[in-house]
Every structure is written in C-alpha cells, then in structure tokens.
C-alpha cells in the first residue's frame, strides 16, 4: 500500500509526464549583399583566470526560509567564506563558440550560460561591450549559485529577472550555416526548477555589422509556470556616456520614485556623469524601436533595435566609480519591470527578434533603425550630422530639413566601416527637424521627425 501511495504521488508530482513541443521557430533569411563574404562559426577555447568557486559552493535547502536560500537545486556560493580567503584563482580553459564576419568577431561561452563574452568590432579593433579579464564572485543578493562577477558582453537571464544561476550553467548548443551565408549558434537551456525552456539563436549575417538574436521562452510542461527573460549587457566608458531611452517617464526598482525623462528638475539623467549613486531606470511605455548609449569622449556607442510590443522591458543601470571609467548596463526584457513575470500556460511559446550593433565616430545617437543610425546635434549655430549603417549602401540619399527648408540633401556611399559626418548650416525657424535616409533602390532606411527641443547640443566636457 505504501508503494502504491508513493507511485501515485510520483505520477502527480516529480514523475508527471512532460509533453515535448518543438520550438515555434522559423529562421528569417535575407539576401546577402553583393560581394559580402559568408559568415563563419567554429569552436575554440579560451583561458581565463577564474576563482575556484567549487571550494566555497554548496547546495541550499529545498525549503528556503528567506531569499538567501533560494536557488535549489542549483549550488550557491558562500560569499562570506570566500571573503575570509576560502578560494583562490586558477587559469581555466573554457570551450568557446566563435561567430565571425567582415565586421564582427563574437566569442561565446556555452559552459557559462551561453553568454556572449567578447565582441570585437573589426574596423576599429575595439571591444563592443565590456570584457572581464578575470571571473570572480559578485556579492549581490546571493541568489542561487551566482558566483560570477560582471563579465560584460551579453548574458541571458531566465526564468527570474536577474542574477539567475542559469547564467552560469552549461547550455546545449548547435552550430548552423545557412544558404545565404549566415552563420549562427543555437543555445538551449531548461530550468531545473520550473521546466521552462529558453532558446537563443545568435547570428551573424554576411555584410552586416549587427548581432542578430532570435529568442524564445517556452513551457513544454503540463502545468502553468511563471517566468521572465532579460538580456543584459555590460559596458565601460568615460564620463561622456549618454543613455538614449525613448520615453517620457521612468521609474526606479519597485516603482517608489518616478522621473521625467531625460530631465527631471535641473538633472539631466541621460548623462551618466549626473548620477550621484548607483541606480536603475525602467522606461514606462517606451515609444520607439531602438535604444542605446553613446560615449561622447570615447566616440563609440551601441544600438539595440527591438519592438516594444515584443519586449516592453527597457532598463538602465550604472555604477559610478572614482576615476575616469564607468561601468553601465542596458537591459531588455519581456516584462516592463523586473518586479513582474509572465504566466506561461502549458505548451505556450513566446518568441521575438532583436539586433544590436556598434557605432563609431557618429558624435552621438538620436534615431536608429535596423538599417542605419543617425546623430543630430546643434553646435554653435550649426547642425552636426552623423550617419552610420549596418551594411554598405552605395548611392544612398541623406536628407535633412527644418520645416520646408532643406538643410542637407546629398548622395553618399554609406558603410559600417565608419560614420559619415557633416556640419550643416541650421537655417529656418520651424519647430521640427526631419531626417530621411533612402537606399539607391528607393527603400526608406530611416525616417524621423523630431521637435527642435529634442535636438540636444553637442556634448561638452565639464571644467
């Protein structure tokens, strides 16, 4: 009788059948630009100094009494033991997956959450994101294992909002090449607590300077589960960092304070140098398909293109430090804030696509699409215009007008290898400024009309 009772309990709990569901995924393919080389994907290895986290890790109780105990059955780190010298560093060699085309070289770590660890923009040789030189502990919340310090790159957090142990667990992966010359790697991970499955397809397309992500979060089980998914990137820069977040209002964690964005009172929150302490901003109902940041002193930036209806979460975070280097993060999520989760019914799949791409020498970021980014800034009675595409567009048309007055109208060969920058006389007195970038075949690559009040002056260093 006891065995029968145990068997019945097993059928309704841990041993319940799981209905497999193939991913609702169709890989989008675009024609390759003429003369573009095929992208490549291959495996390799990378040696990184790493703290010996096994020496200070243990499995928490399956019945946590507080947030410190969360994470079962994943291990968590005893940060207090580590502080007392309980673990040393060692050189560890990690398996890598590398994606490469003529503009980008991406190095990913399948054994550590499938994260994009390093991204090099070949025309400048610079890192697109922050890249850690050492992997160590990060003492924040102590949820799950969570032993790794901020490593930069792009990491993928699920089914909780952040610092989830799945970001440090091995993900399954498959390498793919496609008839149009695209190369990609598909990472897959199933959470041990909820059974939710994440799938992340990272791609480089021939002739494109973007990183394309095709993502999904699915519930293949028989019961409803709550989950979240956030993409988090870390970057370092100078006091010239400016956040570009297309919203009118923002809130902090928990919604305790609200802000007009970007200026509240006499504080311009878009400039990171005005942040007195570490804090977060969540955009409320962001109204465009792009966000990003630009380092005006370092003359580089990053653009993220995604649809707000797919991923309503948009967050900024930063850590002001002494000196001339700052660490900041951009976040994108499937919920508007990190205090929320989505309810996934049995068999439900949520999928979306977004792209990230670097900027160099545009002197800022004002508007962007998947095809091109534009910077518009006033400077001593003139308009400073910067344009940078994600692929070569020969004989493209760039037009800027103020009301009925055309300020700039020229054919140009646009390339991701460098920005087109022009200083334009700022004539007319209309209250709006319009920019339009058109390909040689007539396709509109970007079209935007902005109030003159939103055209910011060029960045000025503080004395």
Distance of CA 320 to the CA centre of its chain: 20
pLDDT above 50 for 364:
yes
The helix/strand/coil state of 121 is: strand
Look at residue 10 and give its three-state secondary structure.
helix
- What pLDDT does residue 18 have? 41
Q: How far is CA 144 from the centre of its chain?
A: 23
Cα–Cα distance measured from residue 425 to residue 407, given in angstroms and rounded to the nearest whole number:
7
Using the predicted structure, report yes or no on whether residue 4 has a pLDDT greater than 50.
no
Question: What is the band of 9 on the pLDDT scale with cuts at 50, 70, 90?
Answer: very low
CB of 216 closer than 8 Å to CB of 351: yes
Q: What is the pLDDT of residues 229-271, one digit of tens each?
A: 999 998 888 889 999 999 999 998 878 889 999 999 999 999 9
Strand partners, 373: 368, 388
Query: How many whole angstroms separate alpha carbon 273 and alpha carbon 380?
Result: 23
Q: Tell me if 135 sits within 8 A of 151, measured CB to CB.
A: yes
Q: Is the pLDDT of residue 166 over 60?
A: yes
Cis peptide, bond prior to residue 298, ω within 30 of zero: no
Task: Give the pLDDT confidence score for residue 303 in this predicted structure.
Answer: 98
Residue among 118, 168, 170 at smallest CA distance from 147:
168
pLDDT class for 279, splitting at 50, 70, 90? confident
Lowest mean per-residue pLDDT among 13-17, 195-199, 428-432: 13-17
350: left (phi over 0), alpha (psi -120 to 50) or beta: beta
Q: Which pLDDT value is given to residue 31?
A: 81
Calpha distance 142→77 (Å, rounded): 7
The pTM score is 0.90
Residues near 258 by beta carbon (within 8 Å), at least 6 away in sequence: 249, 250, 251, 284
Q: What is the mean pLDDT of residues 3-8?
A: 39
Domains (range + CATH), the chain: 367-454 (2.60.40.10)
Q: Within a 10 A sphere around the Cβ of 332, how many other Cβ atoms? A: 25
Q: Would you state the pLDDT for residue 320?
A: 77
Write out the E strands in 84-182: 89-100, 104-109, 115-121, 126-127, 153-157, 172-177
Q: What is the pLDDT of residue 390?
A: 97
Q: Looking at 5-152, which runs of residues are DSSP E strands? A: 40-51, 57-58, 76-77, 89-100, 104-109, 115-121, 126-127
CB 362 within 8 A of CB 422: no
- Mean pLDDT, the chain, whole residue set: 87
| Mean pLDDT along residues 20-47 | 76
Which pLDDT band, with edges at 50, 70 and 90, does 88 fall under? Answer: confident
Give the pLDDT confidence of 371-427 residue by residue, as tens digits: 999 999 999 989 999 999 999 999 999 999 999 999 999 999 999 999 999 999 999
More confident residue, 111 or 67: 111
- Burial tier of 90 (Cβ tally within 10 Å: 0-12, 13-18, 19+): exposed
Average pLDDT rounded to a whole number, residues 91-96: 95
Is the predicted pLDDT of residue 8 greater than 50, yes or no? no
Q: Which pLDDT value is given to residue 140?
A: 46
pLDDT digits (tens, 9 = 90+) for 175-231: 999 988 999 999 999 999 899 999 999 999 999 999 999 999 999 999 999 999 999
Each residue's pLDDT tens digit, 290-349:
999 999 999 999 999 999 999 999 999 988 776 667 889 999 999 999 889 999 999 999
Query: Rg (Cα) of the chain, in Å, rounded?
Result: 24
According to DSSP, residue 336 is labeled S
Phi, psi of 79 (to 5 degrees): -65, -30
pLDDT of residue 75: 77
Residue 167, pLDDT score: 86
User: What percentage of the chain has pLDDT greater than the value 70?
Assistant: 86
Contact 172, 187 (CB under 8 A): yes
As a whole-number percent, the residues of the chain with pLDDT over 90 amount to 65
Confidence at residue 2, expressed as pLDDT on a 0 to 100 scale? 39
Instruction: Respond yes or no on whether the N-terminal peptide bond of residue 262 is cis (omega within 30° of 0).
Output: yes
| pLDDT surpasses 80 at 58 | no
pLDDT-based confidence at 22, cuts 50/70/90? very low
Q: Which residues contact 236 (CB under 8 A, 6 or more apart)?
A: 130, 152, 325, 326, 327, 328
Q: Which of 161, 135, 149, 202 lies closest to 341, judged by CA?
A: 161
State the pLDDT at residue 21.
41
pLDDT in tens, 317-332: 988 776 667 889 999 9
């Amino acid at each position: 009788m006891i065995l029968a009772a145990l068997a019945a309990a097993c059928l309704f709990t841990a041993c319940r059948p799981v209905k497999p569901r193939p991913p609702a995924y169709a890989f989008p393919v675009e024609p390759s630009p003429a003369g573009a080389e095929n992208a490549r994907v291959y495996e390799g290895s990378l040696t990184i100094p790493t703290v010996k986290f096994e020496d200070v890790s243990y499995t928490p109780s399956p019945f946590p009494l507080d947030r410190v105990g969360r994470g079962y059955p994943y291990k968590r780190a005893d940060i207090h033991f580590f502080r007392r010298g309980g673990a040393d560093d060692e050189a560890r060699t990690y398996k890598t997956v590398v994606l490469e085309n003529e503009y980008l070289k991406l190095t990913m770590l399948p054994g550590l959450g499938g994260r994009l660890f390093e991204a090099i923009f070949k025309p400048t040789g610079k890192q697109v994101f922050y890249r850690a030189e050492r992997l160590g502990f990060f003492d924040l919340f102590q949820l799950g294992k969570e032993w790794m310090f901020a490593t930069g790159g792009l990491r993928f957090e699920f089914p909780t909002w952040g610092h989830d142990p799945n970001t440090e667990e091995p993900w399954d992966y498959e390498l793919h090449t496609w008839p149009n010359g695209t190369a990609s790697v598909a990472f897959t991970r199933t959470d041990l607590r909820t059974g939710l499955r994440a799938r992340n397809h990272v791609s480089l397309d021939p002739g494109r300077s973007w990183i394309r992500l095709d993502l999904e979060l699915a519930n293949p089980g028989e019961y409803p589960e709550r989950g979240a998914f956030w993409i988090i990137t870390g970057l370092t820069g100078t006091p010239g960092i400016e956040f570009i977040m297309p919203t009118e209002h923002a809130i902090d964690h928990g919604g305790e304070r609200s802000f007009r964005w970007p200026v509240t009172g006499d504080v311009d929150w878009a400039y990171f140098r005005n942040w007195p302490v570490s804090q977060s901003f969540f955009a409320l109902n962001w109204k465009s398909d792009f966000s990003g940041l630009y380092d005006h002193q370092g003359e580089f930036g990053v653009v993220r293109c995604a649809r707000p209806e797919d991923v309503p979460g948009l967050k900024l975070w930063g850590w002001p430090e002494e000196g001339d280097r700052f660490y900041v993060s951009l976040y994108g999520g499937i919920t508007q804030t990190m205090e929320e989760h989505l309810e996934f019914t049995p068999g439900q799949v949520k999928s979306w696509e977004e792209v990230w791409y670097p900027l160099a020498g545009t002197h800022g970021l004002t508007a962007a699409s998947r095809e091109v980014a534009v910077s518009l800034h006033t400077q001593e009675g003139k308009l400073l215009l910067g344009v940078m595409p994600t692929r070569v567009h020969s004989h493209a048309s760039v037009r800027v007008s103020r009301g009925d007055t055309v300020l700039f109208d020229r054919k140009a060969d646009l390339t991701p290898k460098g920005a087109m920058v022009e200083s334009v006389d700022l004539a007319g007195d209309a209250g709006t400024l319009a920019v339009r970038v058109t390909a040689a075949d007539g396709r509109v690559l970007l079209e935007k009309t902005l109030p003159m009040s939103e055209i910011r002056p060029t960045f000025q260093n503080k004395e």
